[in-house]
Amino acid sequence: MTNNTLFEPYALGRITLANRVVMAPLTRNRAAEGLVPSELAAEYYAQRASAGLIITEATQVSKQAQGYQDTPGIYTEAQIDGWRKVTAAVHEKGGRIFVQLWHVGRVSHVDLLGGDAPVAPSAIRAATKTFVNNGFADVSEPRALELDELPGIVNDFRQAAANAIAAGFDGVEVHGANGYLLEQFAKDGANVRTDAYGGSVENRARLMLEVTAAVAEEIGAERTGIRLSPVSPANGISASDPQAQYDYIVDQLEALGIAYIHVVEGATGGPRDVAPFDYASLRRRFSKTYIANNGYGLELATSHLADGKADLIAFGRPFIANPDLVERLQSGAPLAEMNPATLYGGGAAGYTDYPRFADTSSR
């Protein structure tokens, strides 16, 4: 047993977090024209700055990378300027914030891509839906990426990481989870290529590792993390060999010396026991920070920290209706319930208007 507790400070690379609570990425579909973070985004994130670390909503590294309506990018000057307001607001409140960099791959729709087909490791359509034209629709048929296109995608992530630092972020999380492009390459349910990016465990991991290495080279390994979801079926993804695949991936990430791995344990937003997997194997293979994610409440978080199963604990949807989640967890105050009708799209309602517990209890 260790003496780790959820509310202790924690050293992550060169920065110190006020506590071990992480705000997980949460897609809210509220970007303004040009896919610029909305005027409300700075307020939204600043309200939640008591988290030890905020990881932003998934953010496109290029126009091609978009898969959902009104999600922000970080590849234009206007987008960088918009994010600069967010990071300034969070830092003013004493918080720390990383941006999650995203390419959705096949989880997209032609209406979001100017009529172009989504891209993927192989031309296999995902059994999932996306949010487009103010509603949910089946994703479009993808095309397989050509070999000579892959260096451009690596460079898009590299440039987005540089843009993130220019926008004032403390670091970057590479989105390698939840059925999006990097995971599509890693898992054989979506990747049937026969070139250097398909077939073996090593080949299927190649793009994810090249992207992570490029980001770490650009901004420093100590400011680089990655999100992984070894067994989540999110967005119709599947794999025949997740343990071998992710043991290998984490061995390579350890060699890169990045700051953290952020692991979705089980099905994203669903059962933790969706499929057998030894997460302790990843923990043993990675000497830096392990962020545990999925279905954590106060009791499970405290237990896993005490047992050394994780260093930081990520909370997702509880942060939506509880901007003061850290304070509520620490004081034992009840948690507010999220309004699902305001989860995706819209304005302040269900975004920046959830009250702090202190405000409700003093009425």
Residues assigned a catalytic role: 180
User: Cβ of 135: how many Cβ atoms within 10 Å?
Assistant: 11
Contact predicate 222/216, CB 8 Å = no
Comparing C-alpha atoms, which of 274, 254, 256 is closest to residue 264?
A: 274
Q: DSSP letters of 270-326?
A: S-TTSS---HHHHHHH--SEEEEESS--HHHHHHHHHTTS-SEEEE-THHHH-TTHH
Contact predicate 345/70, CB 8 Å = yes
Contact predicate 95/86, CB 8 Å = no
* Count of residues in the chain: 363
Which residues have CB under 8 Å from 152's CB, separation 6+? none
